[in-house]
Amino acid sequence: MPELPEVETVRRGLQPVMEGRAIARAEIRRDGLRRPFPARMAERLEGRRVERLRRRAKYLLADLSSGETLIIHLGMSGRMLIGDDAAGTFHHPHGVHARHDHVVFHLEGGARVTFNDARRFGVMDLAPTDGLEEHPLLRDLGPEPLGNTFSETHLASALRARRSPLKTALLDQRVVAGLGNIYVCEALHRAGLSPHRQGARTAPARLAGLVPVIREVLNEAIAAGGSSLRDHRQASGELGYFQHAFRVYGREGEPCLTPGCDGTIRRSVQAGRSTFWCPRCQR
């Protein structure tokens, strides 16, 4: 599911429920996901207060009162859903688990947050908050696309040395951290840049134009609660609705929506992933 806008949407939904509350009990219902859970995960969570719920790229980061941070990645199909132990709200009653509910956080005060992930491509880890940026999962990440350090200068220098096309370069989390298949396709279309163009052979002025476009797409998607194709749910369980604003993603064979363009959206495959683009207005 989740690229930056989906993860940020989930973070915003969880924040009022988790921040300032202790995890009374952590129910770990399997050994791990894409990789094993950290040793003694439940004990290291229980009784700890969540001081702050942050996001870095596609990772949720819960800083705990123990001095450790819980790192969560939602993979392709991960969800974090809010329920309530007393009321037994959300899609199943108290004490009953839906298929693929792998971890349940029971918070002080009765709120419950369930991590559900059908494909189990998600990840959880615990590491000291101090020096967290050196964690192997985080240390190679490029700048936040919505942050100050993401600029045309950065993009130009990151792309200069590589041979790869713009599409695959922007999917590389070391170049910019948080974009995925949907938002790379959408941003390149809005910028009028071909996904097949070599990053190193893109005029600086055109790269410069890409920076605000990436920010614009991400901000619009966050405002819409993310994109729900099949798996993404907000923490409340609601759908996001940015998928209705897609201009290229999933629109193969349909007309290009760029004003004045009479092109047809095409699908091709790059690095094993679908690319949607308009050969007419993306050069």
Give catalytic residue positions: 2-3, 58, 273
Stretch that binds DNA, among 18-26, 145-153, 254-262, 270-278 (CB under 7 A): 270-278
User: Cβ 257 to DNA, closest distance in Å?
Assistant: 19
- Helix extents (H) in the chain: 4-18, 41-45, 152-160, 166-171, 181-191, 204-223
CA distance 123 to 71: 8
- CA angle in degrees (0–180, nearest 5) for 148-151-157: 135
User: Binding residues for DNA, how many (CB under 7 A)?
Assistant: 41
DSSP state for residue 198 in the 8-state scheme: B
Q: Which of 39, 99, 205, 253 binds DNA (CB under 7 A)?
A: 99
Phi, psi values for residue 62, rounded to 5°: -105, 105
* HSE-up of residue 50 (Cα within 13 Å, Cβ side): 25
State which residue, 69 or 107, has the beta carbon closest to DNA. Answer: 69
Residue 94 within binding range of DNA, rule CB under 7 A: no
Residue 92 within binding range of DNA, rule CB under 7 A: no
Residue 2 within binding range of DNA, rule CB under 7 A: yes
CA distance 263 to 279: 7
Q: What is the amino acid identity at position 131?
A: G
Q: Which of 53, 70, 75, 191 binds DNA (CB under 7 A)?
A: 75
Residue closest to 268 by CA, chosen among 186, 202, 185, 160? 185
State which residue, 166 or 191, has the beta carbon closest to DNA. Answer: 166
Stretch that binds DNA, among 42-50, 86-94, 207-215, 271-279 (CB under 7 A): 271-279
User: Cβ 86 to DNA, closest distance in Å?
Assistant: 28
Stretch that binds DNA, among 36-44, 201-209, 229-237, 255-263 (CB under 7 A): 229-237
CA distance 254 to 244: 14
CB 22: neighbour CB atoms within 10 A? 18
User: Cβ 108 to DNA, closest distance in Å?
Assistant: 31
178 vs 45, 60, 184, 253, CA distance in Å?
26, 12, 10, 28
Residue 231 within binding range of DNA, rule CB under 7 A: yes
Task: Check if the beta carbon of residue 272 is closer than 8 Å to that of residue 263.
Answer: no
User: Cβ 137 to DNA, closest distance in Å?
Assistant: 5
Q: Which of 26, 41, 53, 57 binds DNA (CB under 7 A)?
A: 57
Q: Which of 13, 180, 195, 225 binds DNA (CB under 7 A)?
A: 180
Residue 169 within binding range of DNA, rule CB under 7 A: yes
Residue 118 within binding range of DNA, rule CB under 7 A: yes
Residue 258 within binding range of DNA, rule CB under 7 A: no
Residue closest to 230 by CA, chosen among 3, 76, 4? 76
Residue 194 within binding range of DNA, rule CB under 7 A: no
Binding site for DNA (CB under 7 A): 1-3, 6, 34, 57-58, 73, 75-76, 99-100, 118-121, 137, 161-165, 168-169, 172-173, 180-182, 226-232, 270-274
